[in-house]
Amino acid sequence: MTAYDDMTSAADSPRPRAAVFDVDGTLVDTNYLHAVCWWEAFHQAGHRVAMTDIHHTVGMGSGRLLDRLLGEDRDHDGDESLNAAHKSLYATWFDRLPVLDGAAALLRALADRDWRIVLTTSAQGSELAALRRAIGADDAILGATSADDVDASKPAPEPVEQALQEADVPPARALFVGDTVWDVEAARKAGVGCVALLSGGIGRAELEEAGAIAVYRDPAALLAGLDDSPFARMERAG
């Protein structure tokens, strides 16, 4: 049986489990692309923002990102143009988004083990479509939630909670995979254990301090160690 060829195995499981995945930096190697595009958007608008500061905000929704980098007391009239500039710059990469090694195989392996795979991302519309094309594993993905589906972005728990609703699985039967401190914090607030990846450029110590229950280099490393991972431990627990 291949992942979700039937689309009934995971759905009909009496005690289903959900594997919720962040996308940018977790499945697709885009965090630094986002940092560069935000830097250029800020530069065009006359803002001087350090690239390292931008990188550490990737994973937040755009509103939270701008609050953190420009201050909550800024003139918000420029937010729309900043967002538009970032989206326009980032869109130039849509046909060459670099999927991380092992990403598609990991999703399919978990789907074959009867995990319900749900993506949760702040990407919307054509950006989300481009990311899914890059991953190339729609056969293993049950659903996806975006910024359109929630009122608050990570590190708020709403994106993770919305993904659990999509999967129809309680927090105790789910694991979240992400690459930023904001992912770990959102999962923790939602009552879900977070497996963190280093592929987004955030250090192991920061991820562990935020509460990650395990840390792997990238999707390929998690796939290689899947039988000894938190996923396997949850499977053995029944």
CA distances from 89 to 19, 20, 218 (A): 31, 28, 26
Question: Residue for token digits 């509460």?
Answer: 211
Handedness of CA 165, 166, 169, 175 (dihedral sign): negative
Q: Six-digit token pair at 200? A: 């987004």
Cβ atoms 190, 172 nearer than 8 A: no
Question: Residue for token digits 């479509």?
Answer: 129
Contacts of residue 16, defined as CB under 8 A and 6 or more positions apart, other chains included, come to 10, 114, 116, 167, 168, 169, 173
At 163-190, the pLDDT tens digits run: 999 999 999 999 999 999 999 999 999 9
Q: What is the pLDDT of residue 152?
A: 86
pLDDT band (50, 70, 90) for residue 52? very high
Cβ atoms 62, 83 nearer than 8 A: yes
Residue 14, pLDDT above cutoff 80: no
pLDDT band (50, 70, 90) for residue 141? very high
Q: Is 75 exposed, middle or buried (0-12, 13-18, 19+ CB in 10 A)?
A: exposed
Domains and CATH numbers, the chain: 17-30+97-237 (3.40.50.1000), 31-92 (1.10.150)
Q: Is 71 exposed, middle or buried (0-12, 13-18, 19+ CB in 10 A)?
A: exposed
Residue 48, pLDDT above cutoff 90: yes
Average pLDDT, the chain: 93
Q: What is the pLDDT of residue 123?
A: 87
Q: What is the pLDDT of residue 8?
A: 44
Cα separation of 169 and 165, whole Å? 7
Q: What is the pLDDT of residue 4?
A: 42
> For helices 158-167 and 181-189, what crossing angle results, to 10°?
60
